[in-house]
Amino acid sequence: MKKILDMLTEEMQKAFEAAGYDKALGKVTLSNRPDLCEYQCNGAMAGAKQYKKAPLLIAQEVAEQLGDSHVFQEAEAVAPGFLNLKISGGFLRKYLEDMKEDSKFGLTMPEKPKKIIIDYGGANVAKPLHVGHIRSAVIGESIKRICRYAGHRVIGDVHLGDWGLQMGLVITWLQDEKPDLAYFDEEFEGEYPKEAPFTISELAEIYPAASAKSKEDPAYKARAMEATYKLQKGVRGYRALWKHIMNVSIADLKKNYSSLNVEFDLWKGESDVQDLIPDMVNYMKEKGYAHESEGALVVDVREDTDTREIPPCMILKSDGASLYNTTDLATIMERMRLYDPDEIIYVVDKRQDLYFEQVFRCARKTGLVKPDTELKFLGFGTMNGKDGKPFKTREGGVMRLEELVRDTRDEMYKKIREGRDMPEEEAGQVAEMVAVSALKYGDLSNQASKDYVFDIDRFTSFEGDTGPYILYTIVRIKSILNKYKEQGGDPARTSLRAAENEAEKALMMQLTQFSAMMQNACEETAPHKVCAYIYDLANAFNHFYHETRILGEENEEKKSGLIALLALSRDILETCIDVLGFSAPERM
Ligand code: ARG
């Protein structure tokens, strides 16, 4: 379906042409003076020079051509030469009717869908998820859903950190605590136990303790590094322990992510590409891309046009060990081989910006990707506390994601119990849904690259630019629709009518923006645009709601039109919150 502004523009172009002017002048935009008009066209101003004519005259001639337009109800030429426009109620109604019939509410699917891999989440196995991971999960999930909705083929990969020192730390800790385990017996040739020698809550304690110890005790750290090395070299018992750590930790990660409605298609990680590294390194050496520098193996990625210093991309350390870079490059290679994507998007802390610049350049220079494969870094800012510093627990420690979700849920539960008479169990479920909306909307409504302040009071408020406000609006609509059903009506069998007042028309106009907004949010990988849209939409709805008698309306035809408008508003709002990654309860 065509976008509404394109249709209005076409109509305007015809008028310019009919009046003898270049049709390119007929671009219609939303009005920046909503008090005066709904849409506007500034083409006559631009045409004045070209035609050496007063812009107001041109505008008047064009306006005359629109006298019997079925698209514009009003086209007025005003000084110094603007065209102030009002859309025809019938045309607007018809547009919404078509939207309603379309499975994507008018959003046109791409001719050539792209295959996109989104690298997000980035959890580290054996380490608890902390607030730093929430943004990647929340933003990445939303971008995945937006692009999918817009018709692309999207694969989400959590890209676990599962091959680093944390594994050696856990293994070393276990060795000290349970030295008799078969995993540490080098002579042992039998089968290792199926059960892990630790539970998730033990594992959650082990990593922080071992990590703290290694910071104070260099000998301990050296042992952990040695254990990491042995694991990576393939020592049998260590590999078996690693498998246990993976299983226990991943089950827990899945639980945590799912509490935020975050799901990955792939649970791959750094460990999956280790076997590809030797060949990749040889290839880079043989082709002359990589050279030695102070013992290390590097690829130069500097470019003449650089305005900042871009150091070489290090492929191997001087001791021959691979690095974070090496693994990311090997992962790109594997993704190209297995999926051949058109685009890979990385949703990672913006402080890794330079790092990814190096990796991308290296991948391009060495031909790991095709020239037209897009590599995109979507760096996000920090979630801060009210003091403007990175968010911490009350005690000043690192806030675990689990705690953050729980605190928000508790706060929401309190509010829901206070304000309403709702059974305990339902209140618990509703609190959970609303809390997810509060957290996610609070994050997503900011442009991703910016830092933001996590303010639990504001985020959980039912008023203002918040998730709960959006849900509240949806629930309000659902409740009216339910009452309509109780009265014997069927919302599915209603049809829209032309708006009868300003508030109704404003709501209808806001609905027509959906497809343009969604396409733009996808192209710019910008969930905050969806948030801004639904905030405006919810406001437009609530304004309309306060001005309009709906269920009490006596004229059945009129009532049916209002109900149809409500149903469409609900559908659009629910589609939008679904791509943001949360959903609305039936009541709250
Ligand atoms: N595990 C990393 C971290 O916690 C994030 C991984 C980001 N993705 C990537 N392909 N490097 O910082």
Q: What is the pLDDT along the chain (588 residues), one digit of tens a residue?
A: 999 999 999 999 999 999 999 999 999 999 999 999 999 999 999 999 999 999 999 999 999 999 999 999 999 999 999 999 999 999 999 999 999 999 999 999 999 999 999 999 999 999 888 888 999 999 999 999 999 999 999 999 999 999 999 999 999 999 999 999 999 999 999 999 999 999 999 999 999 999 999 999 999 999 999 999 999 999 999 999 999 999 999 999 999 999 999 999 999 999 999 999 999 999 999 999 999 999 999 999 999 999 999 999 999 999 888 899 999 999 999 999 999 999 999 999 999 999 999 999 999 999 999 999 999 999 999 999 999 998 888 888 888 899 999 999 999 999 999 888 889 999 999 999 999 999 999 999 999 999 999 999 999 999 999 999 999 999 999 999 999 999 999 999 999 999 999 999 999 999 999 999 999 999 999 999 999 999 999 999 999 999 999 999 999 999 999 999 999 999 999 999 999 999 999 998
| Ligand 1 touching residue 159 (CB < 6 A) | yes
What pLDDT is recorded for position 128? Answer: 85
* DSSP label of 32: S
* DSSP label of 432: H
User: 260: which 2 tokens?
Assistant: 């935020």
Residue 408 Cα to ligand 1 middle (Å): 26
| Ligand 1 touching residue 119 (CB < 6 A) | yes
What pLDDT is recorded for position 132? Answer: 81
CA–CA distance, 361 with 308 (Å, rounded to integer): 14
Residue 300 Cα to ligand 1 middle (Å): 23
Residue 357 Cα to ligand 1 middle (Å): 14
CA–CA distance, 184 with 181 (Å, rounded to integer): 6
User: 586: which 2 tokens?
Assistant: 């039936």
Number of C-beta neighbours around residue 269 at 10 A = 22
Q: Summarize pLDDT for 66-122 with one digit per residue, the tens.
A: 999 999 999 999 999 999 999 999 999 999 999 999 999 999 999 999 999 999 999
Residue 315 Cα to ligand 1 middle (Å): 17
Q: 359, exposed or middle or buried, with CB in 10 Å at 0-12, 13-18, 19+?
A: buried
| Ligand 1 touching residue 561 (CB < 6 A) | no
| Ligand 1 touching residue 136 (CB < 6 A) | no
Q: Which residue's alpha carbon is nearest to atom 6 within ligand 1?
A: 122
What pLDDT is recorded for position 131? Answer: 83
| Ligand 1 touching residue 161 (CB < 6 A) | yes
439, 455 contact by CB (below 8 A) = no
The structure's pTM equals 0.96
Residue 161 Cα to ligand 1 middle (Å): 7
CA–CA distance, 257 with 440 (Å, rounded to integer): 13
| Ligand 1 touching residue 328 (CB < 6 A) | yes
Residue 355 Cα to ligand 1 middle (Å): 11
What pLDDT is recorded for position 392? Answer: 86
Pocket test for ligand 1, best of 346, 347, 350, 398 (most atoms within 8 A of CB): 346
What pLDDT is recorded for position 96? Answer: 98
| Ligand 1 touching residue 348 (CB < 6 A) | yes
408, 456 contact by CB (below 8 A) = yes
Residue 345 Cα to ligand 1 middle (Å): 12
- SS3 category, 40: strand
- β-pair type (296-299, 290-293): antiparallel
Q: What are phi and psi of 574, to 5 degrees?
A: -70, -35
CA–CA distance, 568 with 100 (Å, rounded to integer): 7
| Ligand 1 touching residue 124 (CB < 6 A) | yes
- Which residues is 39 bridged to in the sheet? 30, 85
What pLDDT is recorded for position 249? Answer: 96
Q: Which residue's alpha carbon is nearest to atom 11 within ligand 1?
A: 328
CA–CA distance, 463 with 479 (Å, rounded to integer): 19
- SS3 category, 99: helix
What pLDDT is recorded for position 320? Answer: 86
Q: Which atom of ligand 1 is nearest to the CA of 160?
A: 1
Q: Summarize pLDDT for 189-234 with one digit per residue, the tens.
A: 999 999 999 999 999 999 999 999 999 999 999 999 999 999 999 9
3-state secondary structure 390-403: ECECCCCCECEHHH
Q: Which residue's alpha carbon is nearest to atom 2 within ligand 1?
A: 122
Residue 297 Cα to ligand 1 middle (Å): 22
Q: Summarize pLDDT for 363-408 with one digit per residue, the tens.
A: 999 999 999 999 999 999 999 999 999 888 888 888 889 999 999 9
Q: Which atom of ligand 1 is nearest to the CA of 124?
A: 1
Q: Give the start-end residues of each E strand in 22-179.
A: 28-30, 39-41, 72-78, 82-87, 115-119, 153-157
What pLDDT is recorded for position 427? Answer: 94
Could you tell me which residues come within 8 angstroms of residue 75 by beta carbon, excluding any fewer than 6 positions away?
15, 62, 63, 66, 69, 83, 84, 85, 86
Q: 46, exposed or middle or buried, with CB in 10 Å at 0-12, 13-18, 19+?
A: middle
Residue tagged 């504001």 (tokens): 458
